[in-house]
Amino acid sequence: MKVTDHLKVSDETLFSFEILPPLKGKSIQSIFDGIDPLMEFKPKFINVTYHREEYIYKERENGLLEKIAIRKRPGTVGICAAIMNKYQVDAVPHLICGGFGKEETENALIDLQFLGIDNVLALRGDSIKTESNFRAHKDGHEFAVDLIGQIGEMNSGNYLMDDIKLEPTNFCVGAAGYPEKHFEAMNLSTDLHYLKAKVDAGAEYIVTQMFFDNKKYFAFVDACRAAGIMVPIIPGLKPIKTMRHISFLPKFFHIDYPEALSKELLKCTTNDQVEQVGSEWGIAQSQELKAANVPCIHYYTMSNSKMVKSIAKEIF
Ligand code: FAD
């Protein structure tokens, strides 16, 4: 079932979450161990992130360095199929532009269709560690809007081989939105301009980057509506768990902590204290969002479902 249909048939705020594929070498059981504790909250869909290749340099016997591509977290498509098979819950694979040529994208979408997967979250992806700026694959897409356009073409039966008309796919496409603006955008209004282009190209709902200040989410929704973006906007929340998160989350995800939260975090000296603050903050954020009747609250587990469970049991 499509994410948008789940949203349409419910008057209440839905629960959903996102998982990461395990590191290469770990079994599917590690995924199930992360999902099992959250099933009591009846997620309507579970997102699975996509991780592109990284490059390492290995020294050869002759002293020369060899550039080797590695993928630490492969398996997004297979994990989605395993989730749907085991839990009968819709899985939403993330699909990115980075590292993909158009034909590989088409083949990935064909695999998804064969597996009965109805949803895709279409993203550009970030630059790899060895590049300072995002560089598109030579036969791929530069922006998420272009990927969304390709999926839209397939939904109309137009595949890359243009001499034959094939059976249309029927994917429901989601896109990313940034209440605190995407870090590369000149300002929020240009970012909204490009977000609207993603919706015009076929994105039927938006999932936001994590944020810790609900005011920013509500202002973002208002700004989207004013810009003519009328699709559901699902807030994404991440519970802060460790001392490391205090600086890592703002640095990596380009978000700010509101002052009331940073004051509490400044008092923490242990991971347990951070977890306590993060959990209380996540509950308060979720309560306010639910009271505002947001369509769904989407939690970023980042391979740790314990805190999401402690928050969800107060909310759902
Ligand atoms: P885009 O929408 O393409 O935007 C990228 C930047 O370009 C923005 O600054 C935008 O304003 C600008 N822009 C857009 N279109 C144009 C245009 N036509 N011309 C000029 N400028 C333009 N990353 C992963 O690698 N794997 C994941 O699984 C993953 N999941 C995510 C899930 C969510 C909910 C979110 C919010 C992010 C996720 N990301 C993931 C991170 C995401 O890939 C990065 O934030 C990336 O930098 C931008 O992706 P995007 O799809 O928003 O890009």
168, 155 contact by CB (below 8 A): yes
Distance 199 CA to ligand 1 centre (A): 13
Between 71 and 172, the more confident residue is 172
pLDDT band at 160 (very low <50, low <70, confident <90, very high): very high
Read off the pLDDT of each residue in 157-184 and give the average, rounded to a whole number.
Answer: 91
pTM of the model: 0.96
Q: Is 211 in the pocket of ligand 1 (CB under 6 A)?
A: no
Give me 146's structure tokens.
Answer: 């272009």
Sequence-ordered strand ranges (E) for the chain: 14-19, 45-48, 54-59, 65-70, 90-96, 119-123, 172-177, 205-210, 233-237, 296-300
pLDDT(136) > 90: yes
Distance 312 CA to ligand 1 centre (A): 28
Q: Is 136 in the pocket of ligand 1 (CB under 6 A)?
A: no
Q: Which residues pair with 17 in a beta bridge?
A: 46, 299
2, 119 contact by CB (below 8 A): yes
Q: Is 238 in the pocket of ligand 1 (CB under 6 A)?
A: no
Read off the pLDDT of each residue in 98-106 and give the average, rounded to a whole number.
Answer: 96
Angstrom CA distances, 128 to 9, 40, 131, 196, stand at 39, 37, 5, 26
Give me 220's structure tokens.
Answer: 């973002």
Tell me the average pLDDT of the chain.
95
Query: Of all protein residues, whose CA lies closest to atom 23 belonging to ligand 1?
Result: 125
Q: Is 49 in the pocket of ligand 1 (CB under 6 A)?
A: yes
* pLDDT for residue 238: 97
pLDDT(170) > 80: yes
CATH of 3-315, one of 1.20.120.330, 3.20.20.220, 3.30.70.1400, 3.30.70.20: 3.20.20.220
**244-275, pLDDT tens digit by residue?**
999 999 999 999 999 999 999 999 999 999 99
* pLDDT for residue 57: 83
Q: In the chain, what are the domain boundaries?
A: 3-315
Q: Is 50 in the pocket of ligand 1 (CB under 6 A)?
A: yes
